[in-house]
Structure 1
Amino acid sequence: MSIGTQRLAGNADWLAPLTLYADSPSTRIVAVAGADGIAIQELLTRLAQRWMAGGARVAGVVEETSPGLPKSCGGARLRNLRTTAAYEIYQDLGPRSTACCLDARGFAEACQHVVDDIAECDVVVLSKFGKLEADRGGLLAAFTAAALLEKPVLTAVSPAFADSYRAFVGPFGGFAPPDEDMLHAWGRLARAPSMAD
């Protein structure tokens, strides 16, 4: 059952209306939208930490940024939530390059480690459904493995990839605002009783 439809302030029309899924454990993949990327990654990290503190087994990765460094100069990496391993995801192509600086190798390594953990976890947290996933790469294998094993997934998505995300998740996914308490409740419901705290 949905808790309603709301318009999120401060963002584009693609977010409105959003069906919110905090009380629906049948919604298996939830993408957080409606805040900047750094704030959402921090939210995903806090939620994973709360679930783990409550005894849940969490598999996944979040994106970390280093203040003052552009992403393309090593200012961002993926961090494994279980092992704390770091994966470099940007390559320095030089100051004049206009090519995409995402490093598919870092994503592939991170993804394989997450896939290896999914069977034994209670919930999966994946940094985002973005450009690489829309192009059938990046962390898509982890999204797919979680779906096949019926594990709940918390992720993020930007407006540019919302249509690709919708096409991938179909009726099994949705969007939610960056509301920590609501998302924490969704996680507990989606994987009760092991996540009850």
Structure 2
Amino acid sequence: MSSDSQDVFAVRSAAILDEGLQRGQADALLAGIACAQRRAGRQVRGLVMIRTEGAVGCAGDMVLIDVHTLDEYLVSQPLGRGAAGCRADPQGFARASQVLRDAALQAPDLVICNRFGGLEAEGAGFTQELLTLMAAGLPLLTVVAPQHLAAWERFSGGTTMLAADAQAIEGWIEQALAAPEAS
């Protein structure tokens, strides 16, 4: 890959750092960005997370929503109240991954992936779909928590990191859309 391609790759992919936000705020921010971009007439594809209201801690269902069709994908397993293990359901993520694979074929203005999380940090989850989107040069926006930041930087090659600020994110989107596509 040429250095020009690497520069485009870095400009057209970004992660919002989920640092110091209350649970669910990064998800709400990402969903708001998707809605704002669609209202602006842009084609947006991808997934955002919602969690069951009223659930304490990690006890609620985790559901991914397709930002285009509004289809829902349950991506958590009911392990019970006292469970300490990861509740992520790999089969749910596998079903939802079709949304990101379709986005790579549709080449929208912006692709949103709910987050680069624990599964992706371990090389699972949406890693293949994220790599495909990044290699295609599509503007890609995701969220990363501090504990997965080093894994994200290794995975992405050091793409843009954004504060959880709607104005900064909108500015990055404008810059990413103005950048030439990777060839």
Name the TM tier (shorter chain). Answer: 0.7 to 0.9
Number of the residue aligned with 1:66: 52
Go from structure 1 to structure 2 and tell me whether the alpha carbon gap of 1:85 and 1:70 turns closer, same or farther (over 3 Å shift): farther
Number of the residue aligned with 1:176: 162
Q: Which moved more, 1:90-99 or 1:131-140?
A: 90-99
CA deviations on 1:156-178 (whole Å, 9 max, x unpaired) are: 1111111100001114x121111
- Matched-pair contact (CA < 8 Å) for 1:28–1:151: yes
- Matched-pair contact (CA < 8 Å) for 1:25–1:190: no
Q: Which moved more, 1:143-152 or 1:62-71?
A: 62-71
Residue type at the aligned position of 2:11: T
State TM-score, norm by structure 2. Answer: 0.83
More helix by proportion, 1 or 2? 2
Number of the residue aligned with 2:11: 27
Number of the residue aligned with 1:110: 96
User: Is 1:149 aligned to residue 127 of structure 2?
Assistant: no
* Residue of 20, 32, 42 corresponding to 1:56: 42
Distance, in Å, in 2 between the alignment partners of 1:47 and 1:167 is: 26
Go from structure 1 to structure 2 and tell me whether the alpha carbon gap of 1:138 and 1:25 turns closer, same or farther (over 3 Å shift): closer
CA deviations on 1:36-78 (whole Å, 9 max, x unpaired) are: 3411111111111111111211111011112212475543211
Secondary structure, counterpart of 1:78 in structure 2: strand
Residue type at the aligned position of 1:91: Q
Distance, in Å, in 2 between the alignment partners of 1:41 and 1:155 is: 10
Aligned residues: 169
Distance, in Å, in 2 between the alignment partners of 1:91 and 1:70 is: 16
Secondary structure, counterpart of 2:172 in structure 1: helix
Secondary structure, counterpart of 2:161 in structure 1: strand
In the TM superposition, what is the alpha-carbon distance from 1:111 to its structure 2 partner? Answer: 1.1
- Matched-pair contact (CA < 8 Å) for 1:62–1:125: yes
In the TM superposition, what is the alpha-carbon distance from 1:154 to its structure 2 partner? Answer: 0.9
Number of the residue aligned with 1:134: 121
In the TM superposition, what is the alpha-carbon distance from 1:123 to its structure 2 partner? Answer: 1.0
State TM-score, norm by structure 1. Answer: 0.78
CA deviations on 1:110-158 (whole Å, 9 max, x unpaired) are: 1122211223211111111010001111121221111111011111111
Number of the residue aligned with 1:84: 70
* Residue of 125, 128, 145 corresponding to 1:158: 145
CA deviations on 1:14-42 (whole Å, 9 max, x unpaired) are: xxxxxxxxxx9952221111323411111
Number of the residue aligned with 2:173: 187
5+ long unaligned stretches in structure 1:
1-23
- Give the share of equivalent positions with the same residue, in percent: 26
Distance, in Å, in 2 between the alignment partners of 1:96 and 1:65 is: 19
